[in-house]
Chain A
């Protein structure tokens, strides 16, 4: 022990290595190597028993363009896009309200958002099953008010998946937007108003541009998890509205088609990386606009 300490004292680089190596080893072994195996498998073949046969083929990637799979990709993109758009439209006013209007209740309102955010994901989704069921609360309510005669099919629809996604990721959009709004210097807005700008103009010219980094982060926090989502379509989509996430799970766990499942995973990864690249560019553009 004492000799170890002596080494620690003498060699800073060794100390750096010592502090770093446990997490480095864990990340290399359990993240980097598995990712490379998936990449390698996406080019591999399959024997009649479904076992992976090492090799190099582009068959798996070619199968992606089959008419069965193209709609799944488009659907995932579409629903992730709508989720992001609606989340932002709802999250921005909420963040704005908390940052500028709520005054001393701001911290309470923020804490309130943490409650659904921290509640178990599966519990949150089962709450929506209670609401959207054939005999669920929404149908009962509509029937009691004589708006409809027959219960509507709400569960297992595209709309149900969209509502589930919004419910899951709305808090993730509120937090970053609030953080960027909250850091705006109020004297900038006062100056704009003193110079005769209407509140709306002040918002367009000052608040909105200064909150862009938060807005862009919110896009990333909502879009990335929505495009790879699995649980929500599985529970609320009734197995009918298949998205990329469901496709991957089905290919791996049910069809045991690991090479094709790997190819789909690699493509999903590429989508996300393109998203992140846009995020970086957007952030840089926002920085430049500010200066």
Chain B
């Protein structure tokens, strides 16, 4: 490669310049990539290590212990918060996915007045600052005199996740082969049957992905929940926040470790296929 460049460019200064650029191009990019991965993973690894710290403070290492996991699993507040989070995330993801699926089908298949306005409105929570969404939701609940609780949390999370479920199902509906539906219709299936036996099964993977993503977003949400959770409906992120405010204990590290492991398992489950392909390639 460098031989050819030297032939094309006679000027030796330029040749040196090009060589320096090449070194920067390759080494620099590699170095920054390694740096970025270290930056992304060091805190998580440290958190996991410190969750096994026997000491009461997070700072000083005083030996290996799984005590804090015992504390974590006996913590009623964490348990209740987790239960609340699962109730809210489950309901919000389910409703959001159903609404998103219907909206996506209409957006892909039909032309109607105000379509642009409708899709802009529906997708707007993607770019609007979450804090403003939360404030607006709280003001509205107070305005209507509705007590904060599961209802406000679930509705707020539906607003937050609806753009994601709509976008994902829309993407899979866009890639759907219309010929399959037409063939079914030609064979005498009515519209309801076509939808039930052709369209829906073809969309299943998209709908599942939408559910999974909206569930994760809802489970992870803090800002919207801070404004919309009531007494007794504290979600897990809110509980972690209040623990953090009191001062960090190894219990948070233990909880974080459990959540990270759950996460890695989920990623491996989804990405396992790709991983196997890579490993297969490496072996070959």
Contact = CB atoms under 8 A, between A and B. Distances in A.
Interface of A: 5, 8-9, 12-13, 16, 19-20, 22-24, 26-27, 30-35, 37-38, 41, 90-91, 93-94, 96-98, 101, 104-105, 107-109, 111-116, 118-131, 133-137, 140, 166-167, 170-171, 174, 196, 198-200, 203, 220, 224-225, 227-228, 230-231, 234-235, 245, 248-249, 252, 258, 261-262, 265, 268-269, 272, 276
B220 A120 contact: yes
Interface in B1-15: 5, 8-9
A126 B252 contact: yes
Contacts of B155: 26, 30
A121 B44 CA distance: 12
Range of interface residues on B (Cβ < 8 Å): 35 or more
A126 B248 contact: yes
B231 interface: no
Interface in B135-153: 135-140, 143
Given A120-B220, A136-B59, A125 B36 contact: no
B80 to A, nearest CB: 17
Nearest to A16: B110
A219 to B, nearest CB: 12
B235 to A, nearest CB: 10
B174 to A, nearest CB: 16
B40 A167 contact: yes
Interface of B: 5, 8-9, 18, 21-22, 24-25, 28-30, 32-33, 35-37, 39-44, 46-47, 50, 57-60, 98-100, 102-103, 105-106, 110, 112, 118, 121-122, 124-125, 127-133, 135-140, 143, 155-156, 158-159, 162, 166, 190-192, 216, 219-220, 222-223, 226-227, 236-237, 240-241, 244, 248, 252-253, 255-256, 259-260, 263-264, 266-267, 271, 274-275, 277-278, 281-282
B139 A245 contact: no
Nearest to B273: A107
Given A104-B281, A200-B18, A111 B136 contact: no
B43 A130 contact: yes
A8 B194 CA distance: 13
Given A31-B125, A198-B5, A228-B129, A24 B263 contact: no
A170 B253 contact: no
Contact of B140 (A8, A37, A97, A104): A37
A246 to B, nearest CB: 9
Q: 7 closest A-B pairs (Cβ-Cβ)?
A: A228-B129, A135-B59, A127-B43, A34-B136, A34-B140, A200-B21, A123-B256
Contacts of B138: 252
